Structure formats: structure tokens, C-alpha cells
Amino acid sequence: MQCIINRRAQFSASHRYWLPELSETENLEKFGACAKFPGHGHNYVLFVSMIGELDEYGMVLNLSDVKHVIKKEVTSHLDYSFLNDAWSEFEETLPTSENIARVIWQKLAPHLPLVKVQLFEHPELWAEYMGNGMEAYLSVSTHFSAAHRLAHPKLSDEENAKIYGKCARTHGHGHNYHLEVTVKGEIDPRTGMLVDLGALNQIIEDYVVEPFDHMFLNKDVPFFAEVVPTAENIALYISNALRSPIQNIGGILHKIKLIESPNNSCEILCSDSDMNSTKAAAQPVLATM
């Protein structure tokens, strides 16, 4: 029987987004504050996922050995370093989160049976790499506060109360929604970026946060006048809204995760086969977990 195990590590390091072939003005336009001299730092958190058969001692790998490998090959080189100079790989490609994750995989793959490398630059930005060439995943998180009422417009109050319980009460209720957007794409061999992070954040702000924040979704978002704003339907609506704008900046929307409360969340996996129509959002394919 195969099992996936995970090991956590961390390192503190600085980096700067700067391409010498560009002028100072061009670098600032392209990378914003990340281009400022002499750079900026993060407390990086690394998760290494490995797969294997259980041995006679009930382990896939001895985690003490795994810890030693990660320290020798990765954290001893990166901790308290200036990442641009830490590894030769960053001489040609900038040390973005997605690119750091890719290079960490290359360092660890000869020693560990890797499944995934996940690197958190901070709690609202992380990258995942799974050994597939220059393909990687970049996730950003944000939040909005909104109210909603769960009531199907074609049903009576009594019928809605039977289906949705307290959530069907006339004046609705609210949540602090936590949203995670995951984008898939190829890492640019020069910038190290999967997509322009500033552009991605602006898309999420324009298409989700601004229209939804401090709104009563049933009344303030026309779509939900006829569609029940469950977490599933909201997530599906967001996935349909973000798909095309993200494609326009060179990425592929991979996943939407919407956390309605600490107890309830849902995920929409966004592939080419997903339905994009308004009808699709009225018929969610994933249930709240």
C-alpha cells in the first residue's frame, strides 16, 4: 500500500525582482515594489510531499533522514540568504515563489520520492510544483464580507425553510468569505513568473472583491436574483467570471476554493471540460464539505 507523507521546513530569505537588460523605470513598471533596491524578505514555509510503500517499521521514509536531506540540499543554502545569489539557477531566472519551488524539486528529486513541493511566500501567496517541466501552480488568497439568503425563488417560505433551515430566514445572514484562486501555467524562463502577480490580484479585485464585498448577494448581484447563492454557486460563479480574464494574462484557472466558515468550504476544479454557461452556475457540481 502506497502512502503520501509530508515534511515541513522553513527558511528566511530575501530576493529582488530585477532584470539588468531593463531600465530602472522598466523594472519598476514590470515588478513594482519588488524591484526596489536592495530587495525584500519573507519567512518561507516549505512542504515536501513524498510517496512510497510502508516498510516493516510502518514508515514510508525515516523522517529524520528526510529532515537531513532537506537541510543539506535546500535550507542550509537558502536560510538567511539573498536568493538571487544563492543558486546558479537564479542567475538566468528570477527567484519567484513558483521558480524557487521548481528548483527545490530539482535539488531534492535525486534523494526523495517526490510528489509535490509547496512553497508559501506568505499565508496569502504560495506555489506548487509537481515535476512537470516548467509547469507550476500559483495560488493567492483574499477575502470579502457579504450577506446572503438561501431561498429558491420558485418555492414558498415554508418549502425553503425545510431545505435550507435558518439560512432561509427573510433578512438573510452574513459571512467573512475566504477565497483562494489557483492558476496553472508555464514559468517564464526569464522572469520566473507564471503570470503577472499584480495583474492577477487586480483581476480578482475587479471581478470578485469589489462586486461582492459588503453586499447582499441576492439583491446586489443580479445573477443571484434567480440563483440561490450557496457557497457552491458563488464559487462556480467566481470561476466563470475569472476564467477568461486570467487566460488573457497567460494563465489557466485551475481551482477556486471558497471558505464560507471554519466548518464549510467548497472547491471548483476548473478544466476545459467545465461548463461555462449561466446554467452551469445554477447547477453546482461540487457539494459543500
Active site residue 167: yes
Residue of 135, 167, 178, 205 marked catalytic = 167
Q: Is the peptide bond before 38 cis (omega within 30 degrees of 0)?
A: yes
Q: How far apart are CA 11 and CA 174, in angstroms?
A: 38
Catalytic one among 68, 143, 214, 226? 214
CA distance 168 to 173: 9
CA angle 13, 14, 17 (to 5 degrees): 140
Closest listed residue to residue 70, CA positions, set 4, 146, 6: 6
Q: How far apart are CA 248 and CA 188, in angstroms?
A: 16
From 237, 218, 224, select the one nearest 284 (Cα to Cα): 237
For cell 543554502, the residue is 77
Distance CA 143, CA 150 (A): 20
- Coil, helix or strand for 215? strand
Q: How many CB atoms lie within 10 A of CB 208?
A: 22
* Secondary structure (3-state) at 194: coil
- The Cα–Cα gap between 229 and 147 comes to 10
Distance between CA atoms of residues 147 and 50, nearest Å: 41
Annotated catalytic, 270?
A: no
CA 199 to chain centre: 15
Catalytic pick among 121, 232, 260, 267: 260
| Contact predicate 60/155, CB 8 Å | no
Residues acting as catalytic residues = 167, 214, 260
